[in-house]
Amino acid sequence: MQVFTFFCVESDGSVPRFDVTPCADDQAARLRAFELLDMHHRCDFVEVWRGAHARPVGGSLVGELRIAWEMSRNLMGAWCEEDFDNLFTPYVFLGQPGLVVSDPAAARRILTSPNYIRPVKAGRTLKPLVGEGVLLAEGETWKRQRKSLAPAFTPAAINDLLPHFVGAGAALAEGLADRRQADLSQAFHHATLDAVLRALFSRRADGEGAHLAEIARRYMEGPAHFNLTDFVSRGADDMTWFDGARRRQGRRWFAIVERLIAERRSQPHDRPRDFLDRLLSLRDEDGAPLPDQEIRDQCGSMLGAGFETTSRLLFWAAYLLALDPKTQSKVRAECAATPAADIQTLNDLKAWPLMRSVLFETLRLYPSAPLIGRQALTADEVEGHAVAPGCIITISPWLIHRHRKLWSAPTDFIPDRFLDQPHPWGVEAFLPFGAGPRVCIGASFALAEAQIVLASLLERFEIGLVGGRPVIPIASISLGPDHAPEFTLTPVT
């Protein structure tokens, strides 16, 4: 049975919840839901969230296929009410044993243990864009790749990239200068691709860059979503009959990346200016350069992992700030005191403590990577739960970050909760970038970029939302909105 669940955080902080159930017709339920929301216009923060209620444990095959269908449209459709209270949920889904782990200490142990690898099926959706790069590699190959990439993500290396982020932020604000209304999700998509292309290739998001943006957008809207064969197959390469679109778009994507690399080889920079220069200059223990395919796959990995996630973070931060004008104006005051153009080192970002907390709180409520999967190599036991070899472990930052046993007021937007945390990574139940040896290599890159791009926008505009239609989070690989709301842009005088 499907339900619509509404969390309406009212002015007094209480969280009434309305379930519209049962619903035979999604659209009808959605309309009914909006009527209810209209009745509760006292709400100052509204979220509509659709989930499947039936847990797929011991359900019928038809029930499980229905959940798979729901998840192919929205991976968040797998969660039900109890998941926000349970710390461990064992299940069997389409014959595959699994364990949802929301206990932060156990989740961190799993993410650190060599007994758990990325699920072999992760490659089905990701490989066409990231090839054999660091995102999917395992074992010794991964270790070597991660080590060779590390110098590109040190604070000093990120400092070198800051002018690229400032440039991308300025281009975003300039592009919106004459607009009084805009689809910011698209604008952020363009800005983050612009930032990552500048940082990777010293290129703007036009020409080849615009093609990459278009392929990435189409991929995320279509082939990135799981299909039925992803759920029933056991390996990365089984039952790939429906994956033609993934392969086609992957070929177009890599053809462009290869052209950008070939161009650089024919016209090298006199001194390293970007990530590609660093990759081209890397040498292994025998002094040999990286093979061409590896350079291509690492560039694809950085593009694939790096821009959609940051663009989502910016979208949800703008959405929350539009719903919370008081916090927005406080963040703007920080940016007025230290404009984005003045940022020269990571240290300068300390001038924006509230902005940083807003981004952390956004990542808590809307983690760009809402699911982290692992697969057990050998039998294990996690806090009394038996784990069979091959068992899928699901660690969902979405669930953990909204868990009722782990957070107070879990669905409220309260950036101040991070204000006194010099290192939010120390907050055990906060893992938007994962944990352990495979923790996101681009976390500082993403946070610096997001702060600079958001500051560039807020310096110039007050942002609001057109109409009151709530935005429903939809997850495939990343967590995006179900529709692209228009934002109002009022120039700051």
Min dist. Cβ of residue 241 to ligand HEM (A): 27
Residue 6 or 319: the one with the smaller Cβ distance to ligand HEM is 319
Q: How far, CA to CA in Å, does 217 sit from each of 175, 211, 228, 344, 486? A: 20, 10, 22, 31, 18
The residue among 332 and 401 lying less far from ligand HEM, judged by its C-beta, is 401
Q: Give the span between the Cα atoms of 66 and 463, in whole angstroms.
A: 39
We find the least distance from the C-beta atom of residue 153 to ligand HEM, in angstroms, to be: 8
The pair of three-digit structure tokens given for residue 264, joined into one six-digit string: 């650089």
> Exposed, middle or buried by CB within 10 Å (0-12, 13-18, 19+), for 285?
exposed
CA distance 168 to 453: 7
Residue 173 Cβ vs ligand HEM, minimum distance, rounded to whole Å: 20
Helix axes 244-266, 292-323, angle to 10 degrees: 110
Give how far the C-alpha of residue 75 lies from the chain's centroid of Cα atoms, to the nearest Å.
13
Short-list 325, 185, 29, CA closest to 6: 29
Quick one: 249 or 310, whose CB is closer to ligand HEM?
310
CB-nearer residue toward ligand HEM: 176 or 454: 454
User: Is the omega angle on the peptide bond into residue 22 within 30 degrees of 0, that is, cis?
Assistant: yes
Measured from the CB atom, the residue of 4 and 116 that comes closer to ligand HEM is 116
Residue 381 CB, nearest distance to ligand HEM (Å)?
Answer: 22
- The distance of closest approach from Cβ of residue 306 to ligand HEM in the complex, given in angstroms and rounded to an integer, is 3
What's the burial of 98, exposed, middle or buried (CB within 10 Å: 0-12/13-18/19+)? buried
CB of 424 to ligand HEM, least distance (A): 13
- Report how far residue 475's alpha carbon sits from residue 74's, in angstroms, rounded to the nearest whole number: 5
- Which has the closest alpha carbon to 135: 302, 314, 358? 302
Separation of alpha carbons 254 and 280, rounded Å? 17
Helices (H) and strands (E) in the chain — how many of each? 16, 15
Max intra-chain CA distance, the chain:
70
Q: What is the DSSP string of 70-120?
A: HHHH-GGGG--GGGGT-SEEEEEETTEEEEEE--HHHHHHHHH-TTEE--T
For residues 318 and 451, give the distance between their C-alpha atoms in angstroms, rounded to a whole number: 12
Task: Note the residues at the interface with ligand HEM (CB under 6 A).
Answer: 118, 134-135, 146, 301-302, 305-306, 309-310, 313, 368-369, 372, 432-434, 438, 440-442, 445-446
Q: Which is nearer to ligand HEM, 93 or 445 (CB)?
A: 445
Min separation Cβ 31 and ligand HEM, Å: 33
- Rounded CA gap, 442 and 430, in Å? 17
Q: Decide: 324 and 413 in contact? Cβ < 8 Å.
A: yes
Which residue number, 18 or 413, has a Cβ lying nearer to ligand HEM? 413
- Give least dist CB 89 to ligand HEM, A: 19
DSSP state, residue 283: B
Q: Measured between alpha carbons, how far is 158 from 348 in angstroms, rounded to an integer?
A: 13
The residue among 19 and 277 lying less far from ligand HEM, judged by its C-beta, is 277
Interstrand relation of 486-491 and 461-465 (parallel, antiparallel or unpaired): antiparallel
Would you say 78 or 149 has its CB closer to ligand HEM? 149
Tokens of 305: 């992992």
What's the closest the beta carbon of residue 429 comes to ligand HEM, in angstroms? 14
Strands 392-395 and 96-101: what pairing? parallel
Minimum CB distance to ligand HEM, residue 63 (Å): 29
Q: Which residue is nearest to ligand HEM (CB)?
A: 442
Quote the least distance from Cβ 39 to ligand HEM, whole Å.
35
Nearer Cβ to ligand HEM (169/432): 432
Q: Pick between residue 20 and residue 152 the one whose CB is nearest to ligand HEM.
A: 152
